[in-house]
Amino acid sequence: MAEFVRSHTADGVARITLDSPHNRNALSVRVRAELSAALDAAANDDAARVVVIGHTGPVFCSGMDLKEEAVAAPGAEGVRELPAILQKVARCPKPVIARIGGPARAGGLGILAAADIAVAAASATFAFSEVRIGLIPAVISVPVMHRVAPAAARELLLTGDVFDAARALEIGLVNAVAEDVDAAVAGYVTSLLRGGPTALAGTKKLVLGDLDDSDERYAALLRLSATQFASPEAREGARSFAEKRPPQW
């Protein structure tokens, strides 16, 4: 069976690639499981000093797999697994770079926000699309609110509007925007490989010292998110998305 998340390590870099373009690299059951395993492997790989999360296909990550969520039993919503994934990105002892070559939505923004450095293609677009389908961006708010300017966060999380890479850079969601995203990522990799491994790990802890991504905080936000996922409003939102029609509210 083909992998939906591929990974390999070479020249000090662990490259984790979302490879599920058929569903816009959505965070399906398989993608979540394979991404989680790949992050664990990279964190424990002595040959990896930098981690790069990228993607195949035109979309970085479209968020949770809404076709799966639309039929998920109450208590089995996929969003319940998202806090652990975001913690693994943020707490990885190696610097993590997110390579965004195309659109990122919802949970995909959580992943890139949890990374240490996010590099976006000039053509990439972004949206906190949860409210448009009757959901609350509760879980991803932990890394997002640590990155994004508060006024911009209020605007974009509430409206769900699409914004471009220039706006993402302006509000702090990404660190760099480039026409050649691979060259920009390579430049960051070169810089990071110059740092001592334990010094980088210690510095990462230092700069993330005010990020509250504790199990307790995620548990509280997950209750909010999961309750909404199970609501009639969210079910209608997921069905309308799958059926490509406006939701009935």
Per-residue pLDDT, 81: 94
Any domain includes 148: yes
Number of domains in the chain: 1
Any domain includes 240: no
Per-residue pLDDT, 74: 67
Any domain includes 104: yes
3-state secondary structure of 161: coil
Do 78 and 65 contact (CB within 8 A), yes or no?
Answer: yes
92: CATH: 3.90.226.10
Among candidate residues 69, 77, 130, 155, the one labeled active-site is: 130
Any domain includes 52: yes
Span 36-57, pLDDT tens digits: 999 999 999 999 999 999 999 9
Chain-centroid distance, C-alpha 165: 16
Domain limits for position 141: 5-180
Residues of the chain scoring pLDDT < 50: none
Q: Is 155 a catalytic residue?
A: no
Per-residue pLDDT, 28: 96
Any domain includes 92: yes
Any domain includes 239: no
Any domain includes 245: no
